[in-house]
Structure 1
Amino acid sequence: MDALFLKLIVAFPLLAAAILLLSAGRMPARATCVIGTGSVGLSALMAARVATHATSPASLHVPLWSWMRVEGFSTRIAFTLDPLSLVMMLVVTFVGFLILLYACGYMRDDPDIARFFGYMTLFVAAMLVLVFSSDLLSLYIGWEGVGICSYLLIGFWHIDSANVAAARKAFIVTRIGDAAMLCGLLLLATRAGTLEIAPLLAAPPASATAAFLLLGGAVAKSAQAPLQTWLPDAMAGPTPVSALIHAATMVTAGVYLIARLHPLFAAVPAAMATVALIGLVTLLLAAGSALVQTDIKRILAYSTMSQIGYMFLALGAGAWQAAIFHLVTHAVFKALLFMAAGAVILRVHHRQDIYQMGGLARAMPGVFAAFLAGAAALAGLPLLTAGFYSKEMILQGAWHANPLLWAGALLGALATAVYIFRCIFIVFFGPRHTDPTGRTGATMALPLLCLGILALVGGWIDMPDAIAPVHLLSRLLSPLFGAPTAEGPSWLLWTGSLVPLAGVGLAWLLWRPRIRAFTPPEDAVARLARTGWGFDTLYDTLVVRPFVALGRLNQTDICDRLSDATAATARAGGRMLGRMQSGQVRRYAGWIAAGTIAALCLGAWP
C-alpha cells in the first residue's frame, strides 16, 4: 500500500498539471485553484500517511519500468523512500501545499491563472521525482524538470521584456551547472558501470573529477558563488513562485544532491573543502548585498543565497544532519517571509521599495506578526525560533571542522540579524509613506498562520543537550549519515545565542523608528554590494560581449560564403537552363541536331 501511495504522491500534481495546461484557460478560476491546490494537498496527506505508517523507510523501493539496457550498463525508473527522501517529501508537499493555497488568493485576478497553477504543480511533481529517484539518470530528469519549470514561472508575466530576460538568465546560468553535472554522471557511469544510487554509495569511486563536476551542478542550481547571479533577478516572477523556488524546491536541489551522494564527496577531501569554502564565501557576500538592498523581495533573495551558503558550509564540514535540519527550517521561515512580503506588496499598490512603505505594523498587524516570526527565525533568535536550533547545529559542526569556518558563519549570523531587522524597522515602523488598502484574505492568511507557528516551534525536533536532549531529526537521519557531530563547549552555545541579539540591537540603533530613516553613505563598496559585487558586470565583460561579438563576426564566415556561392551557382545554372526552354520547336530541333553531331564527333575521335 505504501508503494502505491508513493506513486500517487507524484502522480497527483503531475495529473493536475496536465489537466490545467490542456484546459488552455477555459476552466473557471475557482476550479483551477481547487485542482491545483487540491492535488498537492492530496500528496501532502499521502506523504503524512507514508511517514506515520512506514515501519522502515529504508526498505521501501518501488520499481516502475526499465529505461535502457545495453551491454555493461542498465538504468531504470524507480522510487526509493529512505530517511532523507522522507524528510524532503514532507517539506516539498506540505510547504508546497501552503504556497499554492496562498497563491489562490494572490493570483485570483490573473487571467492566466490556469497556466500558473499548471506550471506550479508540474514544478512540485518534478521536485518529487528528483527526491524519490533511486537512479541518478532519473534524478536528472527531475533536476531538468525543476529547471524548465523555474524558467516558465520566472518569465510568467512575459509581456514585460525584463521578466523574459530574467527567466532566460536563470535558464542559461543553471544550464552551465547542468552540463557539468551530466558530464559527472557520464564519468560515474564509466567508472562504476551503474548510476544506481545504492551501489554507488556502497562502494563510491574516489573520483575527484566526478565530485567536482557534480558540485558544479549543485552550485548553479542552489545559486552559490560564482553561479549565483540568476537568483536575485528571479524575483521577476509572482511572489508565490519566489516562495516555491526559494523554500521547497529548486535552490534546495543542490543541497539534496550533495547530501544524497555524501560518501562520494567524503571520499574526496578537496571537494569537501571546496563545498565548505563556497558556502562560506556565498553566505558572506549575499549577506553583504542584502544589507544595502531597497527592494523587499531582493533582500529575501540574497537572504536565500546566504542561508543556502550555510547549508553548503555544513555539508563541507561533514555536518550532514545540520545541513538537512537547516534546509527544513529554512523552507518554513523563507516561505513565510516571501508570502508575508507578498501580502505587503499587494496592499501597498505593488510597491516593493522598502523606503516607500513604513508604519505598516498597525495597518496590517497579522501580516506584521507573520513577517516578524519569519524574520526572528531567519536571524536565529535564541530559544524562541526554529532557525536558532538549526543554525546552532551548523555552528557546532563548523567549529569542529575548522574554527575559521565557525568565525565566518558567526559573522554571517550577525549580518543576517542586521539586514532582516533593518527591513522590519523600515517597513513596519516609522513614518508611513504609502497608505495600504484592502485586507489579506483567508486563503493567504491561513498559510501565514501555519508557517508562523512552525517558524517558532519547528526547531523543537532537534535541540542541543544543554537545552533539552531532543534529537528526533538526527536520529531519523543517522542510518544514512551516522552519528551527528558532538556538541562543543557551552560557550559556543552562548556565543551563537548572543550574536543574533547583538545584530538586532545594531539594526535598532541604525534604523529605529524616527522622523527620518538612517541612510548610510553611498560609497563605492555599497554600490558594489547593491549590484551583487559586480559578478554580472564581470560576466558581461568576459563572456557575454565577446560571445556576441564572435557571433557577429561569424555571420559571414567561410562556411556561410561557400553556402552563398553554391546557392548563387545553382541560381545562375537555373537561369541558363531556363533560357533554353523557349517553346520554339525549331530551336529544340537545332539543339538536338547539334547534340547529335557532337556525339558522332566524339564517337569518331581516335
Structure 2
Amino acid sequence: MYLLPLLSTFLSSFLCGSMFARLFGHRGSIVISIFCLLVSFLSSLLIWYEVAIASCEVYVDVFGTWFTVGSFNVYWNIYVDLTTAHMLLTVTSVSFAVHCYATVYMKSDPHLNLFMSYLSLFTFFMVVLVCSDNLIGMLVGWEGIGVCSYLLIGYYSHRLSAVKSAQKAILVNRVSDGLLLWGILWVWWHTGSLEYDLACLSTQTSIFLSLAILIGAMGKSAQIGFHVWLADAMEGPTPVSALIHAATLVTAGVYVMTRLSVFYDGVIIVVGALTALMAGIFGYFQADLKRVIAFSTCSQLGYMMVSVGLGEHGADAAMCHLMTHASFKAALFLAAGVIITSAGGNQHMGRYGGLSAIHCSLFCFLTLLVGCLCLMGLPETSGFYSKETIINLSYVCFNPLADYAHTLLVIAAFITCSYTVKLFIQSFFYDFNGSDFNVNPVNPSPNLLIGVAFTVLLFDIMFKIWTGTNLLSGILFFVPWGVKTLPVGLMIAGFLTATAAVTSRNFGLMRFCATRWGFDQLYARTIVQLVLDWGRITWGTGDKGLFIVNNLYGRSSK
C-alpha cells in the first residue's frame, strides 16, 4: 500500500506518454490517468490514517543499495512519518482534482495524452521528493519536478512567450539548485551521512549550510530575488498553474526547510517577511487574473518561510499553512480557469465585470468565493487558523527580527485582503469596458469531472477546518487580545480599500509596482546581458576561431 502512490502515478505517466497511448486514444488516456490518480489519492488517505491516527511510522526498503562510494552507501528507501503523510495526502488530493479538471479543460488539445503524461510524471517526482528518507532521494525528486515544470510551462511551444517563460523558470532554478547540490555535498563531506538529521554539525558549518540550502529553497519557493519566474509561469495551461502553484513545486522549498529543522536562522525570517510584503504589492497592481493568484501564492510562501525560522512550533505552523493553502489555492486557480474560459479566453480582469453565475456556473462562483475567503483569512476558515498562528507566533517569538517580521506580515495581510476583494469584485460585479456578456451567454454545461475536482478541494478545505489546523492556536492563549483580533480588522479594512480602489482610476505608485519594482529589467540589463556578452566573446574567439583555424590547417596540409 505504501508504494501505491509511486507506482500508480508512474504507471499513469508511462501509459499515457508511451507508444501504448495510440492504442488507448484520448478517452483511454483520460480513464487511465484518472483511475491511477484516484488509486494514489485513496492509498495516500489510508497511509495518512495509519500514520497520523494510528501513530505508525513506516520504513520501506525499495531497491536496496543504489550506489556505493567507499564505505558510504546510498539506498532507495521510503520513510513515511507524520510530515510525509500530511504532504503526501496534500499532493495526491490536489493532483487528482487537477487531473479531473485537465481532462475537460484540455479536451480539444490534440496532444492530450502527452499533457496527461507530463502531469502524472510531475506528481510522481513530487511523491519521490516527499517520501525519500535522505537528501539524495530528495534531490532526484527535486530535479524531476524542475524538468517537468519546464515541459509544462512551455507546453504551448508555438507561443514564444511560453517558451521564454519555461526557459526563464529553468534557468533561475538552475542557480538555486546548484547551491542546493553544493550544500548536500558539503553535508556529506562533514558528516558522512545524507540523512535529514543533521544535528551533529558544528555551529559554524550550520550557518554556511543554512545559507546554501536556503538559497536552494528560495529558488523553488520563489522568494525575493528568485521570484521573477513565478508570474511568467502563468503562460502554461491553467491546470499547470494549479498544480505548480498550489501543493507541489513551490512548496518543495518549504518542505525541505521544515525537514532540515536544525537550520533556524534570522535570514530566513527576513527573506520570508520581505517576500510576503513584496508579492502582495505586486499582486495588488496586476490586471491579469492568473498572475494575481500567482503573486498571492508567492506572498503566502513568504509566511511559511517566516514560520520556518521561528523554531520547532513555527515549522509545524508552516506545514499547517502549506496544507490549507494548497487546497484553497488550487480551488482558486481552477475557478479562475472556468472564468477565463467563460470570458472567451481573456485573462484581463478589467474586461470581466459582466460575468455571472449564468456564464460560469454557480458552483464556480461559490468555489471562487470560498477560496477568496480562505485566502483573506475570514474567521473560522482554514486559512484563518493557519495564517493567524504564524502571525501570532511571530509576535511572541524571542527573536528580535520576529518583531519586524510581524509588522511586515500584518501589512501583507492587509494587502492580501485588498487585492483578493478587488479580484472578486472585478470578476463579477463592476463592468469597465461596457461589454454586455448577457447578449450571448456562454452558459457552459455542468461537467461531472469539473464538479468532482471542485468537490474534492472544497471537502479538503472543510476537512482541514475541523481536524488539526488550529491545534497550535491553543498554545497562543497568552497573546494579547488586540494582536489576535488585528488580522480580522485588517481584513475589513482591506475590503473597504478594495471597493474604493476598484472604482477609482488614480493610483499613485501603479507604474512602479505594476513593473514589479524592475527586477526583470535589472536582471536583463546586468546579469543576462553580461552572460550573453561573455558567450559572444567565447564563441567568436574560442569556438568559431578554433573551427576556422582547424579548417585552414586542414586545407593547407592537403
**With structure 1 as the length reference, what TM-score do the two structures score?**
0.85
State the partner residue of 1:44.
41
Q: Quick one: structure 1 residues 25 and 559, their matched pair in 2 at CA, closer, same or farther if it must change by over 3 Å?
A: closer
Equivalenced residue count is: 539
SS of residue paired to 2:157: coil
What are the ranges of 5 or more consecutive residues in structure 2 without an aligned counterpart? none
Contact 1:390 1:459 (C-alpha < 8 Å) held by counterparts: no
Contact 2:317 2:386 (C-alpha < 8 Å) held by counterparts: yes
Q: Quick one: structure 1 residues 226 and 485, their matched pair in 2 at CA, closer, same or farther if it must change by over 3 Å?
A: farther
SS of residue paired to 1:65: strand
State the partner residue of 1:390.
386
Q: CA shift at 1:118, angstroms? A: 0.1
Q: Quick one: structure 1 residues 433 and 312, their matched pair in 2 at CA, closer, same or farther if it must change by over 3 Å?
A: farther
Contact 2:246 2:325 (C-alpha < 8 Å) held by counterparts: yes
1: CA distance between counterparts of 2:354 and 2:170?
38
What are the ranges of 5 or more consecutive residues in structure 1 without an aligned counterpart? 267-271, 465-470, 476-482, 512-516, 575-606
SS of residue paired to 2:64: strand
State the partner residue of 1:292.
285
Partner deviation per Cα, 1:101-123 (whole Å, 9 max, x = no partner): 11111111111110100000000
SS of residue paired to 2:2: helix
State the partner residue of 1:34.
31
Give identity over the alignment, percent: 32
2: CA distance between counterparts of 1:51 and 1:252?
19
Q: Quick one: structure 1 residues 276 and 434, their matched pair in 2 at CA, closer, same or farther if it must change by over 3 Å?
A: farther
State the partner residue of 2:395.
399
State the partner residue of 1:21.
17
- Map 1:414-425 onto structure 2 (within 5 A): 414-425=414-425
Segment of structure 1 superposing worse, 396-405 or 333-342: 396-405
Contact 1:33 1:104 (C-alpha < 8 Å) held by counterparts: yes
Partner deviation per Cα, 1:543-563 (whole Å, 9 max, x = no partner): 111211222222221575355
Please point out which of 546, 552, 564 is paired with 2:548. 564
2: CA distance between counterparts of 1:360 and 1:375?
17
Q: CA shift at 1:190, angstroms? A: 0.1
Q: CA shift at 1:393, angstroms? A: 0.6
- Map 1:187-586 onto structure 2 (within 5 A): 187-197=186-196, 200-206=197-203, 207=205, 208-263=207-262, 265-266=263-264, 272-318=265-311, 319-363=314-358, 364-383=361-380, 385-401=381-397, 402-431=402-431, 433=435, 435=437, 436-439=441-444, 440-455=446-461, 458-462=464-468, 471=471, 488-511=479-502, 517-521=503-507, 523=508, 525-557=509-541, 560-574=544-558
**With structure 2 as the length reference, what TM-score do the two structures score?**
0.93
Q: CA shift at 1:172, angstroms? A: 0.5
Q: CA shift at 1:147, angstroms? A: 0.3
1: CA distance between counterparts of 2:545 and 2:357?
70
User: Could you say which structure has the larger radius of gyration?
Assistant: 1
Partner letter of residue 285 of structure 1? M
Partner deviation per Cα, 1:528-586 (whole Å, 9 max, x = no partner): 21122111101001111121122222222157535532331221221xxxxxxxxxxxx
Contact 1:284 1:412 (C-alpha < 8 Å) held by counterparts: yes
Q: CA shift at 1:7, angstroms? A: 1.5
Q: Quick one: structure 1 residues 381 and 92, their matched pair in 2 at CA, closer, same or farther if it must change by over 3 Å?
A: same
Q: Quick one: structure 1 residues 75 and 332, their matched pair in 2 at CA, closer, same or farther if it must change by over 3 Å?
A: same
Partner letter of residue 111 of structure 2? D
CA-based RMSD: 2.0
SS of residue paired to 2:307: helix
Contact 1:373 1:456 (C-alpha < 8 Å) held by counterparts: no
SS of residue paired to 1:262: coil
Contact 2:15 2:29 (C-alpha < 8 Å) held by counterparts: no
Segment of structure 1 superposing worse, 202-211 or 8-17: 202-211
Partner deviation per Cα, 1:335-368 (whole Å, 9 max, x = no partner): 0000000001111110000111113234233211
Partner deviation per Cα, 1:372-394 (whole Å, 9 max, x = no partner): 110000010112x1110100110
Contact 1:252 1:308 (C-alpha < 8 Å) held by counterparts: yes
State the partner residue of 1:84.
83
